[in-house]
Amino acid sequence: MQVESTAFRDVKIITPFVYGDERGYFLETFNTQTWKGILPDRPFVQDNESKSTRGVLRGLHFQKPPYTQAKLIRVIQGKVIDIIVDLRKSEPTYGQSISVELSAENKKIFYVPRGFAHGFIVLSEEAIFSYKCDNHYAKEYDSGLFALDPELDLDWGMDNEAILLSEKDQNQPKWGDHFIFD
């Protein structure tokens, strides 16, 4: 597997080895032995999957302490732009974002440590999005940022008019109004 470090501490983009022939392909999406030394020694406790259509933007979501979550993200079908925003005040990348294209074709896996707001938008007709979390969902600690906030200046890869947001995501606070944690 190929591991790409980023300008953000502990954020990694992983391209697994894919073995294919006329029958199809095989890849290992996670193995504690193989990934030892690549990821922090935290067990993943929850797997999530969503299916969305073109233009659906989910995010930017995070959980407040003590229920922050690290995520190991991939796309099983389709194509998305995945964006994270660093919420860790102690980091030089605080308030900055990074994006990565994840698709069934490129099979990249995105590791996002605790302390980031996370969201994605579907660029294909539909996408199946899968991720592991290292902490359980806790509704009372659920939070987010308004993904179309001009102050964040995020490039979602399509016109804002074509983007579909849930009511919850339409009403998330903007960056300047937000509780940020370490």
Point out the residues that are catalytic: 61, 131
* Spatial CA neighbour of 87 closest among 34, 172, 5, 152: 152
d(CA 27, CA 130): 15
Fill in the DSSP letter of residue 129. Answer: E
Q: Do residues 1 and 34 make contact, with C-beta atoms less than 8 angstroms apart? A: yes
* Spatial CA neighbour of 81 closest among 95, 67, 62, 60: 60
Q: How many CA atoms lie within 13 A of 147 on its CB side?
A: 29
Cβ within 8 Å of residue 85, ≥6 positions away = 60, 95, 96, 97, 116, 117, 145, 152, 154
